[in-house]
């Protein structure tokens, strides 16, 4: 089984692509080139590659990315056959803003969004005017606002949604929180300076953040991360087999054992 890895140099925007082999859409015997975030997506897909893929008759090339933009660009431009790093609301917003032809295949896991702090031990302890950071990408920003509302810190306007400006989304802000948006990869570092930070699950795991003040409800959560491909490959037997493996009980057991059913949970 051939497995190749690539990393994204985010500052330069240069993909060190796996070389050799044709596109899976053109060659039914070609390996599937899958782009992933390193944690936890890369670890989950590596488990599939090491333990399940060969017996299932599929070959994977895993390429790792450090940001949220290049994996979709790479699929749209034919550099990748699929990616596994995002939830469907993020994909919908990406498609609205940047275009591209994509097919959502299946949800795999959920990383509950959480708020962390080194200054206080509960949301109620946040002082008046406290600085709180959250994601600058529209889908995850609204998700962060919903988490703050879940914790009783703000109240959103009934018509607020993905893409609504921060200042236009909030109906009530009794603590006068100062909300600042940052790129998702910067959020873990902001915990050192801000009163609190709302951090995407994969970055929280990578930064080893613990003891969150607030954790997103997992039940009925629409933000499960899943497998995305092109319309041309959506019904390809290799993609369908990979989707089956990612949804298998073996993978669910691996996720629960590795992350304790807290930071990462299998999609329902």
Residues 179 and 226 in one domain: no
Residue at which a domain ends, from 173, 199, 215: 215
- The confidence score (pLDDT) of residue 125 equals 97
Convert the pLDDT of each residue in 65-118 to its tens digit.
988 889 999 999 999 999 999 999 999 999 999 999 999 999 999 999 999 999
In this structure, of 14-23, 28-37, 167-176, the range with the lowest mean pLDDT score is 14-23
Kindly indicate the confidence band of residue 15, based on its pLDDT and cuts at 50, 70 and 90: very low
Residues 140 and 194 in one domain: yes
- Residue, of 1 and 78, whose pLDDT is higher: 78
Cβ(78)–Cβ(100) below 8 Å: no
Is 190 inside a domain boundary?
A: yes
- Output phi, psi for 147, to 5 deg: -65, -40
Torsional sign, CA 22, 73, 232, 88: positive
Residues 95 and 142 in one domain: no
Is 177 inside a domain boundary?
A: yes
- Residue 230, number of CB atoms within 10 A of its CB: 21
Residues 123 and 57 in one domain: no
- The confidence score (pLDDT) of residue 19 equals 37
Look at residues 6, 28, 38, 36 and name the one whose alpha carbon lies nearest to residue 19: 6
Mean pLDDT of 189-198: 97
- Output phi, psi for 218, to 5 deg: -85, -30
In this structure, of 8-17, 141-150, 216-225, the range with the lowest mean pLDDT score is 8-17
User: Which class for 96: exposed (0-12), middle (13-18), buried (19 or more C-beta within 10 A)?
Assistant: exposed
CATH of residue 15's domain is 3.40.190.10
* pLDDT of 139 above 70: yes
Residues 105 and 234 in one domain: yes
Kindly indicate the confidence band of residue 27, based on its pLDDT and cuts at 50, 70 and 90: confident
How far is Cα 34 from Cα 113, in angstroms, rounded to an integer?
Answer: 24
* pLDDT of 242 above 80: yes
**DSSP string of 185-241, one letter each residue:** GGHHHHTTTSSEEEE-HHHHHHTT--S-SEE---TT-S--EEEEE-TTTTT-HHHHH
Q: Give residue 12's domain range.
A: 8-112+221-266
- The confidence score (pLDDT) of residue 258 equals 95
- Residue, of 104 and 5, whose pLDDT is higher: 104
Residues 249 and 156 in one domain: no
- Residue, of 50 and 220, whose pLDDT is higher: 50
Residue at which a domain ends, from 190, 215, 240: 215
Look at residues 239, 87, 102 and name the one whose alpha carbon lies nearest to residue 162: 87
Tell me the sheet residues that pair with 9: 14
Mean pLDDT of 37-60: 97
Q: What percent of the chain is predicted at pLDDT more than 70?
A: 91
How far is Cα 216 from Cα 135, in angstroms, rounded to an integer?
Answer: 15
Is 2 inside a domain boundary?
A: no
Is 1 inside a domain boundary?
A: no
- The confidence score (pLDDT) of residue 22 equals 55
Across the chain, mean pLDDT equals 90
Residues 29 and 58 in one domain: yes
Is 247 inside a domain boundary?
A: yes
Is 69 inside a domain boundary?
A: yes
Residues 162 and 229 in one domain: no
Look at residues 111, 262, 90, 118 and name the one whose alpha carbon lies nearest to residue 200: 111
- Residue 138, number of CB atoms within 10 A of its CB: 21
* pLDDT of 147 above 90: yes
Residues 107 and 236 in one domain: yes
The helix (run of H) or strand (run of E) holding residue 36 is strand 32-36
Cβ(209)–Cβ(256) below 8 Å: no
Mean pLDDT of 188-203: 95
Peptide bond connecting 92 to the previous residue in cis, omega within 30 degrees of 0:
no
Residues 70 and 22 in one domain: yes
Is 38 inside a domain boundary?
A: yes
Residues 103 and 13 in one domain: yes
Is 3 inside a domain boundary?
A: no
Residues 104 and 125 in one domain: no
- Count up the domains in the chain and report the number: 2
Residue at which a domain ends, from 175, 191, 215: 215
């Amino acid at each position: 089984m051939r497995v190749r890895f690539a990393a994204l140099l985010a500052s330069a925007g240069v993909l060190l692509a796996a070389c050799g082999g044709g596109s899976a859409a053109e060659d039914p015997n070609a390996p599937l080139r899958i782009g992933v975030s390193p944690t936890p997506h890369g670890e989950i897909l590596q488990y599939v590659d090491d333990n399940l893929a060969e017996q299932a008759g599929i070959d994977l090339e895993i390429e790792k990315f450090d940001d949220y933009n290049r994996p979709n660009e790479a699929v749209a431009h034919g550099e990748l056959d699929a990616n596994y790093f995002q939830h469907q609301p993020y994909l919908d917003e990406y498609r609205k803003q940047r275009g591209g032809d994509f097919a959502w295949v299946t949800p795999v896991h959920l990383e509950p969004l959480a708020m962390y702090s080194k200054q206080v031990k509960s949301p109620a302890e946040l002082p008046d005017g406290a600085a709180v950071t959250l994601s600058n990408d529209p889908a995850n920003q609204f998700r962060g606002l919903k988490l703050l509302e879940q914790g009783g810190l703000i109240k959103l306007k009934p018509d607020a949604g993905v893409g609504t400006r921060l200042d236009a989304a909030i109906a009530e802000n009794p603590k006068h929180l100062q909300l600042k948006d940052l790129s998702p990869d910067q959020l873990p570092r902001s915990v050192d300076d801000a009163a609190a930070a709302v951090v995407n699950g994969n970055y929280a795991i990578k930064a080893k953040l613990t003891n969150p003040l607030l954790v997103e409800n997992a039940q009925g959560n629409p933000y499960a991360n899943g497998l995305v491909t092109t319309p041309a490959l959506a019904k390809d037997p290799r993609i369908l087999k990979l989707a089956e493996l990612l949804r298998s009980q073996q993978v669910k057991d691996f996720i629960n054992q590795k992350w304790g059913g807290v930071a990462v949970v299998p999609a329902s």
